[in-house]
Amino acid sequence: MASSPLPAFTVRRGEPVLVAPAAPTPREVKALSDIDDGEGMRFYSSGIHLYRNNPAKEGKDPAMVIREALAKALVLYYPLAGRLREEAGRKLVVECTGQGVMFAEADADLTADDFGDVQSPPFPCFEQFIIESTTIAGIEPVIDRPLLYFQVTRLRCGGFVFGQRVCHCVVDAPGGMQFEKAVCELARGADAPSVAPSWGREIFMARDPPRPSYPHLEYRDPVGGPDRMLSTPPEDVVRVRFFFGPREIAGLRQHAPASIRGSCSRFELVVACIWRSRTAALGYAADEEVRLSLVVNARGRPDVPLPEGFYGNAFAFSVAATTAGELGGGDLGYALGLVKKAKSAVTYDYLQSVADLMVVAGRPPFVMSRTYLVSDVSHAGFKSVDFGWGEAVYGGPAKVGEGPFVGVTNYFSRAKNSEGEQSVVVPICLPKDAMDKFQLEVHALTTELI
């Protein structure tokens, strides 16, 4: 199901202001972890939540309610009200100054129903509902800037849109959700959040001396020529949402080897299908190296000593690598084996090795050439963010993916297909000439065998 095109509308945004913690907070300097401050984390991620009118909240201004709750939450999460500073070795620290986060309220002549059945990114006209910060030569700096930007846009039906931009250096998706839920609980009248925050960044600091112990292909260029995905102009890229419902998942299971068919998750099946089909559609030479990079969350892993309430970055990019010829020449089971191996590779030792590499290699960015980067946000619980107006109609990323190159990164989410069935939904961006080939490849892998 797709969202309907929005009617012509105007957003009247007030002047953004700084919201500081509601009470005095410690003035100190706190170091980010060596996973937090890699080059690939130095950007703002964007999210959107859409809410309908709640008659029980008649006379309540959502912008005021959220602003007051935000100020209270920042007392506990006071580093988020500070500013980043770069020290020797490109090390990032937070100066906890209590300056505050950026907040704007706005009004739009739209109703919640005007957005249609929006279930997955991109959110319609998301640029109107988030605060963009200033860029320098096309790059959005994070040093000495607010770490969080919020906009509450009131709708004429009584609902509203909550838009946010969060500096990825200080929180990952689960950490950001933890903070948002703290704001929600305070907005609904709680005296304190149910989960107390914990800084704990020392667990992901480089060892002394640093000793990277894995290849870390995610930071090394692959073998082969240039990647057309990095040079295709945005206007030559098309976007299509692909729904993998019960029928498509059953087809993928049939194409998987019997020995692993029952042990494959839906995520593994869909990732393997898309990586294989995308590689074929882009026409890479048989001897060129192609990669799949998975965002693997370390939370809940028994060997990772995360303190309760930790809200920093606790994930790694784990890479599956092969050649285009081997990926396309093998069956779906070959791709599935690589996906499973990459998923299981992230341990505490691996994360420590990443931290070590950041220090010895100057905090390099992750490589995007001939790489398909996937983040599964289907279990993040975005829609459960409730400021007192009820569950969100839409909750999730504002964009299809983050980063400067369209189609390199992808968010996997959950939505209902045209038959009302729960599905994995993946918005794919490819050059126009590659999309037809991609659709044929996916169709072949998702069609049940007779």
Question: Where is 47: in which H helix or E strand?
Answer: strand 44-51
**Amino acid occupying residue 281:** A
Which of 168, 172, 216, 227 is catalytic? The answer is 168
Encoding tokens for residue 294?
Answer: 């998975």
Task: Report d(CA 241, CA 243) in Å as an integer.
Answer: 7
Q: What share of the chain is helix, strand, coil (3-state, %, to 5)?
A: 30, 25, 45
37 carries an active-site annotation: no
Q: Where are the beta strands (DSSP E) in 202-314?
A: 237-244, 289-297
Among candidate residues 36, 37, 114, 386, the one labeled active-site is 386
| 107 assigned to active site | no
Classify the C-alpha dihedral 34-294-366-132 as positive or negative.
Answer: negative
Tokens of 11: 């957003």
Q: Which run of H or E residues covers position 102?
A: strand 101-108
CA–CA separation, 402 vs 391, rounded Å?
A: 25
Indicate the burial class of 71 (C-beta count within 10 angstroms; 0-12, 13-18, 19 or more). Answer: buried
Residue 171, both tokens: 């929180």
Q: Where are the beta strands (DSSP E) in 122-208?
A: 148-155, 160-167
Cβ 102 vs Cβ 166: under 8 Å: no
Cβ neighbour number for residue 393 with a 10 Å cutoff: 18
> Which residues lie closer than 8 Å to 374 by C-beta, 6 or more apart?
271, 292, 293, 294, 295, 409, 410, 412
Residues with Cβ within 8 Å of 50's Cβ and at least 6 positions away in sequence, in order, are 112, 115, 118, 123, 159, 161, 162, 392, 393, 394, 395
* Residues belonging to the active site: 168, 386
